Structure 1
């Protein structure tokens, strides 16, 4: 009896398995089963943006329904929806068609006939980046082939390829489709205006692939008609990256440069060194990395720096290297005695750190040691040789702790011989003397390089730049002050009244590390978008800062993007409209950054991403 029950049980299990397999097989064979997959489409609603349909739609053939203005993907919908479509940052003016035309990169051609010979090489590199970004919309492989010709005519007037605060970045972009051919005309004074126009051109293109499809087929759609006129409000649109607290690999820096280019930022402020480490190779002073790098693999070689500078230039970005001094200078400078040069820096890695510096490890350069200036000159020469001309150098200059210098008998004796008292004003005189000598060294190096004298340099705001003191020590024609005080500080306006040029980076709004340590407040993208700079010709612009005490390359992208993009639009457009009006375009930018290999943080729940303006 037991055997019969066992046989019946086995037969029952087998019948159930056969039934399951039959159902499974039938689902594979029945194409109608696809209707049970989510098949949302999107409609561009005036004043609301892209909205998901109320019910799943019949599976489309991939063709956009131009009659009902339904789109198979939210990315394509956002590319065409609204006055500015998916453009970021917002241009001065734009007229965009809602109709699109299918294109393929294989049939895209760039015409460089109407550009100066001196600019053709860099423009050719810029067009290669453009084509790569277009391909990225389809993950690098556009499988739907169409033969629509697309010809991009570039017109550039100036043969100059220098990127400075005086560079004209204005551009005009015109897209027309006629007789089956797309004609794109880009006009700019300089190659950098042309580069921005090429970036805007890529933002008129979207992948043509339904959100609900798992097919490998992917095509591209270009807005069939567009007229854009654009120029930046601010000349300096910067991003600060600290690579001392944590070493950030070069590939991650380059990816950050890609994000900056996508948002038309133009200054990469590289806070390359600090008291924690010195990862920047100096061919003339190899001891700096030998004693200062975290490991042999965590060094930026001279050749890597050169490649980064070229990589950034092709993307319209100027690299500004900062060697922070005289404070924030510890590891990397502790080798002087080993070579018979005395102390090049004091308080290096000393305790108790709270009395000697702002954060561990401590370290400040020793202005009493004449050998220090020989070393600095050699380091400055290395930097001047790699920076693009005319070189813009950031000299650091913040958070000097007088307790550190006062703990050095060498420095105290030097001050006594100079007649400097060991009080606040005495140490200010010492600090100012160091700064004057350092600037003279930089000028000598530039003279050796054949560069025009009296080039401006950048410096952080500090006790030395306070309104009652700065005119005594720092020439307004030489120094651009980067003001990092909180937004309610009066220093920035005071410096403007004194005639100094400034770059604004309010730490309580545009510091990306805030909210992750101590008594600091996190700024979301809306808060960052809402900060408006003072209206003054001497406000060159602003920077967003990523200090890396609590950031490494594993989390870099999510801390930086898309919040930095919000401030980038403020610096380019200075919009009068608020964050709410910008959110749909920022969502489209985020999708664009993802396609280009970045890992930006999410802006909202996925449902909100599919329903513009519904979660505000």
Structure 2
């Protein structure tokens, strides 16, 4: 570990904002905020006025833009007055860190100014369609102005505004930073988390809480991996037998109303939901209702020859019955999703060619035989997606392993190696990054497979999973999505996602495994991995207290995020550094 000698003491926690803004200046004056402060929302041809407190119970009405801003104001009230915290662990134990409660000076007004009219579709934005940048000014006299070209930008600015405030131990909320000026905008358009709700079932409230945490970190995509080999929890009214027989059990399904609730909740927080139905592999849960559609079902004991995980099973590649099934599935599902989102993920990863030797419509594992059949399959599925007005998303194997041709509109999700995104962009395709060596949050918890006793199993000792070790927040933070990407191809890196596969993750441990590590990725995707001043990776030393603050803010929101450090490190500033001189000793 090499740190520069003479590291300065850490900035006060009061300066903490996450993700770090593009440009940020602040003073040291204290301002308090009242829950009845006047707020105005101005956009072309629209003006609205209300108080912060009254907004918390306001009706969800108006245009998409107005609903987004209304929701952002409501969240600001909840965050500042009901979900804040007293920052005792970040201040020296013997210091008087709180301001005096006499002669309070208050925020006078908050003006939200949207200087352009949102285009249609603000509740289902496409990549880069809406400017999420904002300017936040807190004047010395207590006048606040947040300006943006979009309602989504105003929502991001209000999120930052809430991070300036702390709860006081004697009541009320204050900032010690006035005056403030922040000019901010995201580095990448797609900033997401992949949540696997198929290998373990997650109640709706867990998904909504995750969306809230994503929004508070200025992430804007929830990739919902909703079906897989082990279970099919998604209810399809035209095919009710899929979830009736494919879900883990009664009550472990997502109804159309549940899906609409998840999508709508996300849209109002600026988090677009992207559903994935993985295919043609990872589909063996379909066998329970439609065994005639699945090849190589649950081959034992050598399932690994036919699938990445048990139970094996893949949709047959040359079956008219499969294409009829797909037509019924998508004619039911996609019209319900298209008003709510602009994207649909069609999967395509980890196909084992050997499975098609057991497919009675193919009977071959020859790539020359399978390639045109896979091409026909993906063309058919993507036609369904596009006919519904949606843009397809796929895993990298579609173009890098199976050599299939897809449209330039398709987002290609890279995950296997650092070279994957390079290869995808060199082909002229848009890419989402998420290298498992850095951004797989489920890694490092040991094998979920069981090994029989004996000498043979000892070769797997100590039974690590394939992507060990665990990816610490520092490792997540060190990943640069633009690594090795040619400058003339960098515009094709649309963004990225951290991933939480659920073989060993459920509703009880998801929060701690996801947060605050996902927040580390959020700053990379919003602010960029490199410090503009140095051209080097951003400093862990500077990031650590800000991330620790974000952790406390998430806990105050009901998210069981793991701690970043012990209070000693946070209270005593620079005491927990590891300096370059230690290595030279």
Tell me, yes or no, whether TM beats 0.5.
yes
Task: Please give the alpha-carbon distance, in whole angstroms, between the structure 2 residues aligned to 1:559 and 1:459.
Answer: 25
| Local SS of the residue matching 1:173 | strand
Q: 1:129 aligns with which of 35, 58, 75?
A: 75
| Local SS of the residue matching 1:159 | coil
Task: Please give the alpha-carbon distance, in whole angstroms, between the structure 2 residues aligned to 1:349 and 1:516.
Answer: 26
| Local SS of the residue matching 2:494 | strand
- For residues 435 and 114 of structure 1, do their structure 2 counterparts lie closer, same or farther at Cα, with a shift above 3 Å needed? closer
Q: 1:354 aligns with which of 300, 304, 312?
A: 304
Task: Please give the alpha-carbon distance, in whole angstroms, between the structure 1 residues aligned to 2:163 and 2:8.
Answer: 21
The answer (yes or no) to whether the contact 1:355–1:403 under 8 Å persists in 2 is yes
1:149-548 equivalent positions in 2, closer than 5 A: 150-156=108-114, 157-160=116-119, 161=122, 162-166=124-128, 167-178=130-141, 182-209=142-169, 217-222=170-175, 223-336=177-290, 343-352=292-301, 353-381=303-331, 382-388=333-339, 391-412=342-363, 422-444=365-387, 446=388, 451=389, 456-462=391-397, 464-466=398-400, 470=403, 473-487=404-418, 490-517=419-446, 518-519=465-466, 520-534=468-482, 536-548=490-502
| Local SS of the residue matching 1:410 | coil
Using the TM superposition, give the Cα deviation of residue 147 of structure 1 relative to its aligned residue in structure 2, in angstroms: 8.9
| Local SS of the residue matching 1:393 | strand
Q: 1:599 aligns with which of 560, 564, 567?
A: 560
Task: Please give the alpha-carbon distance, in whole angstroms, between the structure 2 residues aligned to 1:115 and 1:378.
Answer: 44
Task: Please give the alpha-carbon distance, in whole angstroms, between the structure 1 residues aligned to 2:519 and 2:19.
Answer: 8
The answer (yes or no) to whether the contact 1:290–1:332 under 8 Å persists in 2 is no
| Local SS of the residue matching 1:270 | strand
Task: Please give the alpha-carbon distance, in whole angstroms, between the structure 1 residues aligned to 2:75 and 2:263.
Answer: 15
The alignment's C-alpha RMSD in Å is 2.3
The answer (yes or no) to whether the contact 1:392–1:456 under 8 Å persists in 2 is yes
Using the TM superposition, give the Cα deviation of residue 529 of structure 1 relative to its aligned residue in structure 2, in angstroms: 0.4
The answer (yes or no) to whether the contact 1:244–1:278 under 8 Å persists in 2 is yes
1:49-128 equivalent positions in 2, closer than 5 A: 49=10, 78-79=13-14, 85-105=15-35, 107-114=36-43, 117=46, 118=63, 119-128=65-74
The one-character-per-residue Cα deviations of 1:271-324 (angstroms, maximum 9, x if unpaired) are 111011011111222111111111111111111111111111121111000000
The structure that has the greater radius of gyration is 1
Using the TM superposition, give the Cα deviation of residue 607 of structure 1 relative to its aligned residue in structure 2, in angstroms: 1.2
Task: Please give the alpha-carbon distance, in whole angstroms, between the structure 1 residues aligned to 2:242 and 2:427.
Answer: 38
| Local SS of the residue matching 1:376 | helix
Structure 1 gaps of 5+ residues are 1-45, 51-76, 80-84, 210-216, 338-342, 413-420
The one-character-per-residue Cα deviations of 1:372-393 (angstroms, maximum 9, x if unpaired) are 2232233223134134455201
| Local SS of the residue matching 1:551 | coil
Using the TM superposition, give the Cα deviation of residue 150 of structure 1 relative to its aligned residue in structure 2, in angstroms: 3.8
- For residues 466 and 287 of structure 1, do their structure 2 counterparts lie closer, same or farther at Cα, with a shift above 3 Å needed? same
Structure 2 gaps of 5+ residues are 1-6, 47-62, 87-100, 447-464, 532-537, 578-585
The one-character-per-residue Cα deviations of 1:508-547 (angstroms, maximum 9, x if unpaired) are 1100111112242211111110111125110111110000
| Local SS of the residue matching 2:214 | helix
- For residues 605 and 475 of structure 1, do their structure 2 counterparts lie closer, same or farther at Cα, with a shift above 3 Å needed? same
Using the TM superposition, give the Cα deviation of residue 149 of structure 1 relative to its aligned residue in structure 2, in angstroms: 5.2
| Local SS of the residue matching 1:130 | helix
Task: Please give the alpha-carbon distance, in whole angstroms, between the structure 1 residues aligned to 2:44 and 2:144.
Answer: 15
- For residues 611 and 332 of structure 1, do their structure 2 counterparts lie closer, same or farther at Cα, with a shift above 3 Å needed? farther
- For residues 380 and 150 of structure 1, do their structure 2 counterparts lie closer, same or farther at Cα, with a shift above 3 Å needed? farther
Asked whether 1:615 is paired with 2:576, we answer: yes
Task: Please give the alpha-carbon distance, in whole angstroms, between the structure 1 residues aligned to 2:307 and 2:557.
Answer: 41
| Local SS of the residue matching 1:97 | strand
TM-score in terms of structure 2 length:
0.81
The answer (yes or no) to whether the contact 1:334–1:348 under 8 Å persists in 2 is no
The answer (yes or no) to whether the contact 1:138–1:218 under 8 Å persists in 2 is no
Task: Please give the alpha-carbon distance, in whole angstroms, between the structure 2 residues aligned to 1:379 and 1:115.
Answer: 42
The one-character-per-residue Cα deviations of 1:55-81 (angstroms, maximum 9, x if unpaired) are xxxxxxxxxxxxxxxxxxxxxx512xx
- State which drifts further: 473-482 or 232-241: 473-482
The answer (yes or no) to whether the contact 2:85–2:166 under 8 Å persists in 1 is no
- State which drifts further: 606-615 or 220-229: 606-615
The one-character-per-residue Cα deviations of 1:406-433 (angstroms, maximum 9, x if unpaired) are 1122332xxxxxxxx6412212222222
Name the structure 2 match of 1:581. 542
Task: Please give the alpha-carbon distance, in whole angstroms, between the structure 2 residues aligned to 1:110 and 1:280.
Answer: 41
Task: Please give the alpha-carbon distance, in whole angstroms, between the structure 2 residues aligned to 1:218 and 1:377.
Answer: 59
The answer (yes or no) to whether the contact 2:317–2:361 under 8 Å persists in 1 is no
Using the TM superposition, give the Cα deviation of residue 603 of structure 1 relative to its aligned residue in structure 2, in angstroms: 1.3
Using the TM superposition, give the Cα deviation of residue 138 of structure 1 relative to its aligned residue in structure 2, in angstroms: 4.4
Task: Please give the alpha-carbon distance, in whole angstroms, between the structure 2 residues aligned to 1:509 and 1:189.
Answer: 34
The one-character-per-residue Cα deviations of 1:356-404 (angstroms, maximum 9, x if unpaired) are 1111122211222222223223322313413445520110001111222
The one-character-per-residue Cα deviations of 1:194-231 (angstroms, maximum 9, x if unpaired) are 1100100101111112xxxxxxx422103432111000
Task: Please give the alpha-carbon distance, in whole angstroms, between the structure 2 residues aligned to 1:108 and 1:377.
Answer: 54
Task: Please give the alpha-carbon distance, in whole angstroms, between the structure 2 residues aligned to 1:175 and 1:322.
Answer: 42
Name the structure 2 match of 1:25. none
- For residues 514 and 411 of structure 1, do their structure 2 counterparts lie closer, same or farther at Cα, with a shift above 3 Å needed? same
Task: Please give the alpha-carbon distance, in whole angstroms, between the structure 1 residues aligned to 2:216 and 2:503.
Answer: 26
